[in-house]
Amino acid sequence: MLRRPLLTAAKRGTSLLPREDMKKAAGRAPSLLLGLLRRHQTSATVGVDKQKTLDDLGGPSFLTTLNWLFVKGYFKTTQQLQIEHKKIYGPIWKSKYGPLVVVNVASADLIEQVLRQEGRYPVRSNMPHWRSYRELKNKSHGPLTEMGVKWQRIRSILNPRMLKPVHVSSYTNTINDVVTDFIERISWLRASGDQGIMVNDLTGELYKFAFEGICSVLFEARMGCMNEVVPEETQKFIFSVGEMFRLSPIVVLFPKVLWPYLPAWKQFVATWDHLFSVAEDLVKKKMEEIQQHVDTDREVEGAYLTHLLLSDQMTVTEILGSMTELLLAGVDTTSNTIAWALYHLAKEPEIQTKLYREVIEVCPGDKVPTSSDINQMPYLKAVIRETLRLYPVVPSNARVTVDDGVVVGGYVFQKQTLFHLCHYAVCYDESIFPDPHTFLPQRWLRGMDDRIKQHPFGSVPFGFGVRACLGRRVAELEMYLLLSRLLKSYEVRPDPAGTEVKPITRTLLCPAEPINLQFLDRKA
Ligand code: HEM
């Protein structure tokens, strides 16, 4: 069992006892009156004259859905299925998956209606399989899987050091160190391969970068992923994350009573065991480090994990639950986005040159960008923003209604309705993003031209509201620092074999094949 370091209260300036009363903290559910008022307001804005309900909504039957997924072959490209179904059924339709009914919404207005109705404790989905693992193994839920008041308490503890600009910018040096090593690793990869300036499987390399980057922020530890030989434990972690995402949609297709008999469930449990054990080792290491400092009367310094361990707001088991989920959420998302951005920059030399010029103007010579330098690089931000529109790494998101009488698209829904927000389809809606298939960073630059004002819910890559992405600011900092510095060192060119890489959905939007690119030295 993990035990918190035995610090003296005087050293920490806080109580040694876990603060049980924290569990009782946070607010109450919205009052009935407020609920009624909100319902009334939503209805009024969409003008419901006759109460249409879920039963009146059209959409494919379970058999038709199976046909689309497994006969027509959309199982791996469910993002494209959003677009196809929108053409047939319009912007709102229902899909059946056995006993499960899902309401799909595929327009910016409807996504806005779903997201604006949510109360203080939004529910993304019940995640029964993820939650069951934690219950089976006595683990704590983290921000991804927790719900209600308990979820809000976790977020209130984790938010400040993840989202407040002053804390996020304090991670700049830590991330820059990882970026320096990644740039060197690119040079080593080129030299050690037999293809000159080619770097194969950049997606895999960026995955290691993102893992190293987020570990260095969260656990204040380096994992050795930028070394020539990546440690076996790290390789195993990477494999386990992939397996967990692969097994997740399979397990959830079966009723819960059958899970103990499914080989897929057993593998699913084993992969989670591994993910938790990696996080546990890191937490243990940090606690030992803190204890050593305390024993030798040295000051305890540190950032994220140290702060959580010292602040006494969470038990060690709770910290472990949250850190595991942060680690899980913070790797594929960031790495895939950077991979797509580089893929496009390689194909579009004019955009790359424009970005390079902006970077060297703000950071000439060997100057390493700081977070305030990044604020002077609007084009860099626009390139990442456009990448997230064209490749929303979370191509769809879910919300379960917590109140009865929620009105969306003129239909009245009961509580526990599962909404599927089809972000991918909306990102390609040409009434919102003209010329939607073209990579146009200038869409995101203010005052460029008098194009139509963009809908605020046209592209919401990090989600919206109190349940939006917890790692957004750190992810952005990682992507900005890496992209700007990488382009200072190298000119990126496409794979001469001309391979076109398409996206597929494996829970997240991923490149279907490895992304291979050429890296030319700028200095040369
Ligand atoms: C390009 C990078 C990333 C993208 C596009 C992204 C996107 C998202 C989205 C769309 C959600 C769901 C929001 C909602 O339901 O409204 C989410 C949730 C979350 N993200 Fe990220 N994310 C990224 C990076 C990260 C990183 C680096 C971390 C960790 C440090 C992280 C941690 C989380 C967590 C913990 C949640 C769950 C929040 C909750 O339910 O309270 N994400 N992210």
Q: What is the pLDDT of residue 262?
A: 95
Which one, of 481, 489, 470, 303, lies nearest residue 375 by Cα? Answer: 481
Residue 49 lies in a domain: no
With the most atoms of ligand 1 within 8 angstroms of its CB, the residue from 115, 335, 462, 473 to mutate is: 462
CATH of the domain at 514: 1.10.630.10
Range with lowest mean pLDDT among 73-77, 108-112, 482-486: 73-77
pTM metric for this prediction: 0.88
pLDDT at 392 over 60: yes
Angle at 111 between CA 436 and CA 410, to 5 degrees: 120
222 and 209 in contact (C-beta within 8 Å)?
A: no
Query: How far is the centre of ligand 1, averaged over its atoms, from the C-alpha of 203 (Å)?
Result: 19
Given pLDDT bands bounded at 50, 70 and 90, which one contains residue 194?
confident
Instruction: Provide the residue type at 229 as one letter.
Output: V
CB–CB of 464/115 below 8 Å? yes
**Residue 510, Cβ density class (10 Å: 0-12 exposed, 13-18 middle, ≥19 buried):** buried
- Per the structure, how many domains does the chain have? 1
33 inside domain: no
| Ligand 1 site, residue 467, Cβ cutoff 6 A | yes
Atom of ligand 1 nearest to the CA of 465: 16
- 141 Cβ inside 6 Å of ligand 1: no
pLDDT at 12: 37
Q: Best mutation site among 147, 217, 469, 508 for ligand 1, i.e. most ligand atoms within 8 A of its Cβ?
A: 469
Residue 350, classified by CB atoms within 10 Å of its CB into exposed (0-12), middle (13-18) or buried (19+), is exposed
Ligand 1 pocket member 508 (CB < 6 A): no
Ligand 1 centroid – CA 502 distance (Å): 23
| Ligand 1 in reach of 339 Cβ (< 6 A) | no
pLDDT of 249 reads 82
Q: Report which ligand 1 atom has the smallest distance to the Cα of 142.
A: 35
Position 192 scores a pLDDT of: 85
Would the CB of 405 count as within 6 Å of ligand 1? Answer: no
Lowest mean pLDDT among 38-47, 247-256, 506-515: 38-47
Atom of ligand 1 nearest to the CA of 326: 29
Residue nearest to atom 17 of ligand 1 (CA): 469
Residue 428 counted as domain residue: yes
321 close to ligand 1 (CB < 6 Angstrom): no
Nearest CA to ligand 1 atom 21: 469
Is residue 352 scored above 70 in pLDDT?
Answer: yes
Cite the DSSP H helix spans in 252-303: 263-295
pLDDT of residue 3: 56
Q: For residue 488, is it within any domain?
A: yes
Whether the per-residue pLDDT at 120 is higher than 60: the answer is yes
Q: Say if residue 336's pLDDT is above 70.
A: yes
Three-state secondary structure call for residue 421 = strand
Encode pLDDT of 207-242 as tens digits: 999 999 999 999 998 989 999 888 888 888 888 888
pLDDT in tens, 130-187: 999 999 999 999 999 999 999 999 999 999 999 999 999 999 999 999 999 999 999 9
Token pair 């790290």: residue:
234
**ipTM of predicted complex:** 0.99
Query: What's the CA gap between 140 and 150, in Å, rounded?
Result: 11
448 pLDDT tier (thresholds 50, 70, 90): low
Of 42-56, 58-72, 310-324, the one with minimum mean pLDDT is 42-56
Please tell me if the CB atom of residue 337 comes closer than 6 angstroms to any atom of ligand 1. yes
CA angle (508, 514, 519) in 5-degree steps = 120
Residue 279 lies inside a defined structural domain of this protein: yes
Evaluate whether residue 15 is within a structural domain: no
Q: What average pLDDT does this structure show over 424-442?
A: 96
* 159 within some domain: yes
Cα dihedral across residues 480, 472, 326, 247: positive or negative: negative
Tens of pLDDT, residues 3-26: 565 443 333 333 322 333 333 333
Which whole number is the average pLDDT over 273-302? Answer: 88
Banded model confidence at residue 414, pLDDT cuts 50, 70, 90:
very high
Q: Is the CB of 515 under 6 A from ligand 1?
A: no
Inform me whether the pLDDT recorded for 78 exceeds 80.
yes
Three-class HEC string of 56-97: HCCCCCHHHHHHHHHHCCCCCCHHHHHHHHHHHHCCEEEEEE
Please tell me the distance between residue 363's alpha carbon and the centre of ligand 1 in angstroms.
Answer: 30
Query: Average of pLDDT values for 425-440?
Result: 96
For 507, the 3-state DSSP assignment is coil
Any domain includes 10: no
Q: What percent of the chain has pLDDT over 70?
A: 89
Given a cut of 90, whether residue 297 has pLDDT beyond it is no
Distance 476 CA to ligand 1 centre (A): 11
343 by DSSP, 3-state: which? helix
Residue located nearest, by CA, to atom 19 of ligand 1: 469
Least confident window among 98-107, 150-159, 247-256, 283-292:
247-256
Q: How many Å lie between the centroid of ligand 1 and the Cα of residue 150?
A: 18
What is residue 185's predicted lDDT score, i.e. its pLDDT? 95
216 lines ligand 1 (CB under 6 A): no
Q: What is the pLDDT of residue 524?
A: 53
469 is in an annotated binding site: yes
State the pLDDT at residue 252. 85
Instruction: Compute the distance between CA of residue 158 and CA of residue 319 in angstroms, rounded to an integer.
Output: 10
Between β-strands 406-408 and 503-506, what pairing exists: parallel, antiparallel or unpaired? Answer: unpaired
Report the pLDDT value the prediction gives residue 188, as an integer from 0 to 100: 93
Q: 144: CA distance to ligand 1 center in Å? A: 9
DSSP strand pairing (490-494 vs 52-53): unpaired
Report d(CA 150, CA 23) in Å as an integer. Answer: 7
111 Cβ inside 6 Å of ligand 1: no
* C-beta of 334 in contact with ligand 1 (< 6 A): yes
Which structural domain range is residue 293 located in?
54-521
Structure token digits, residue 180: 């320096």
Q: Beta-strand (E) ranges in 438-497?
A: 490-494
**Mean pLDDT taken over the chain:** 88
Residue 214 Cβ inside 6 Å of ligand 1? The answer reads yes
What is the rounded average pLDDT of the residues 48-69? 89
- Distance of CA 143 from the midpoint of ligand 1 (Å): 10
Atom of ligand 1 nearest to the CA of 158: 35
400: β partners: 123, 418
